[in-house]
Every structure is written in C-alpha cells, then in structure tokens.
Amino acid sequence: MSFQHIQTELNDGIATIILNREPLNVLNIAMMKEINLALDSLKEEKVKLLLFKAKGKAFSAGVDVGEHLGDQVEEMIEVFHGIFRRMDALPAVSVASVQGAALGGGCELALYCDLVLASEKAKFGQPEIQVGVFPPIAALIFPRITSRKKALELILSGEIISAQEALSLGLVNKVVPNETLEEEFEKFCGKFLPMSGLVLALTKKAFQAGLMDNQDQGLKAIEKIYLQDLMQTQDAEEGLKAFLDKRKPVWKEK
C-alpha cells in the first residue's frame, strides 16, 4: 500500500509509520486518513511493536489549523481521534521517535504512544489555548502520564518545553543526542524484541486495566487477564518451564 504523506514498513512483527510531509509534518485530514488506513491494515497482522517516526526537522507541528474551521472541524476531529482509537485497538506496544518539534496534535500523537524516545533537540507543547481552542487528547492523557497540576498548567498555558523537561515530567522515556537518535531508537526497541509478542500485548492490556480509578476493579481486571488470558497461553507455560530448566525460552508467539 503506497501513500502520499506517510511511509510504512512491516518487518518481522515490527510495523513502522513514518510521517513524510516535510518540513513540519503538519497533519491534515488527508494525511490522517492515510495513518488510519495504515493502522487498519495491521489488524490481521501479528505486530509486536508499532513505531512512529518522522522525516524532516520536526516530528509534527500539529494538525492543520485551517481544518479546525467551519464544516471541516467535525471531520477533522473524527479522523484525528480515529488514530488513537485504532492505536488502542491494536495490542502492539507503540514507540515514538521524536527528533524535533512535537506540537499540538503532533505532541498528542507522540505522547499517546506507550514509550517515547526523544532527541535532545526535541520540544513538546500544546499551544492550542493560544488560538482559542484546547487539545482533547492531551486533556485525556496528560493527567495520566504526569502530575495533574503540571498537566493542567501545560494545557492552560500552551507552554513549549524541552526534551529534558519532558523527561523530568515523565512524558518521555529517554533523551539522546540528536546525531545518534536512530541508533539509540533501534537499541531501545531492541530490548523488547526477545520477548513473546503475545505476553507483551497481554502485559500492556493489564497495565491499561490498572489505570482504572477504582483500584479494586482494576486489580480484578488484571487478575482476569492473568488467569484467563495469559496463563492459558503456550508462551507463559514455556517461559516458566524454561526458567526451571535453566534454558532460553522458545516462544510460539514471536
């Protein structure tokens, strides 16, 4: 499948979506529809990792401001939020590589990923408030990935922060030199490749269940995933037996 605004790759269970609308990778409706099509194409694939990368000097400067106006706004929101609904529907662990500005919708796309690696030149921010709107996805996820008060401050002020500050707030996992970003990204993702893809997916599912406001309900959901999903898999049995046998596990679900 070829696209105008993105590039895609699928190799050995690693799916990559590359934003390719240089120089700033502004997300217009056409581009976001392509991202949705790319995500839809992964439904029947066995994907261990879903990677988001970008060409050019910015990860993404956000959603096209012109498409927030008039009759386009409803379609824009539907298509943009469709990206996150599709990401949620995929069991794969998602990882973003951010080399420059990730602003507005671009910041939301990067930080919605489960894990984020950032260049020291990266910057993050939700400047929507400065043009009279607010960021719906940031309003959803920021209180879940940093402190409530800091999340509200970032959204209300539209402040743009450095990669290092994003790291200190827990918004990103690691900051690396710009010139070694690609190498460090491969190394970072490589930590997860030896694991069972199925067990990674079920662990992510349990982690998300644990975010429920009601801790008892969250624990019950995690217990159900552990006993009814995880412990019924061949990989769970194989991993435990391999440990007892003092050998490396041979996963069925790579």
pLDDT of residue 218: 82
Residue type present at position 246: K
Residue 1 pLDDT more than 80?
no
Confidence of residue 217 (pLDDT cuts 50, 70, 90): confident
Name the phi and psi angles at 97, rounded to 5.
-115, 115
163's tokens: 């990669």
Encode pLDDT of 95-142 as tens digits: 999 999 999 999 999 999 999 999 999 999 999 999 989 999 999 999
Asked whether the predicted pLDDT for residue 192 surpasses 90, the reply is yes
Contact 82, 40 (CB under 8 A): no
Specify the pLDDT at position 215.
Answer: 79
Of 17, 9, 21, 6, nearest to 58 by C-alpha is 21
Length of the chain equals 254
Residue 222 pLDDT grade (very low, low, confident, very high; cuts 50, 70, 90): confident
Contact 184, 165 (CB under 8 A): no
Catalytic residue among 34, 67, 128, 253: 128
Summarised one tens digit per residue, pLDDT across range 155-183 is 999 999 999 999 999 999 999 999 999 99
Q: Which of 108, 120, 153, 183 is the catalytic position? A: 108
How sure is the predictor about 70, in pLDDT bands with cuts at 50, 70 and 90? confident
Q: What is the Cα gyration radius of the chain?
A: 19
Q: 92: phi > 0 → left, psi -120 to 50 → alpha, else beta; which?
A: beta
Contacts 24+ apart (CB under 8 A), 134-139: 135/104, 135/105, 135/107, 135/108, 136/77, 136/81, 137/80, 137/81, 137/84, 137/105, 137/108, 137/112, 138/107, 138/108, 138/111
Instruction: Assess whether 128 carries a catalytic annotation.
Output: yes
What superfamily would CATH give domain 6-190?
A: 2-enoyl-CoA Hydratase; Chain A, domain 1 (3.90.226.10)
The residue written with tokens 């984020």 in the block is 116
pLDDT band, residue 68 (cuts 50/70/90): confident
φ, ψ at 44 (rounded to 5°): -95, 5
pTM of the model: 0.92
Please give the helix or strand (H or E) that residue 6 lies within, else none.
strand 6-11
**Angstrom distance (rounded) from CA 204 to CA 201:** 5
Short-list 110, 154, 252, CA closest to 195:
252
Clarify whether 108 is annotated catalytic: yes
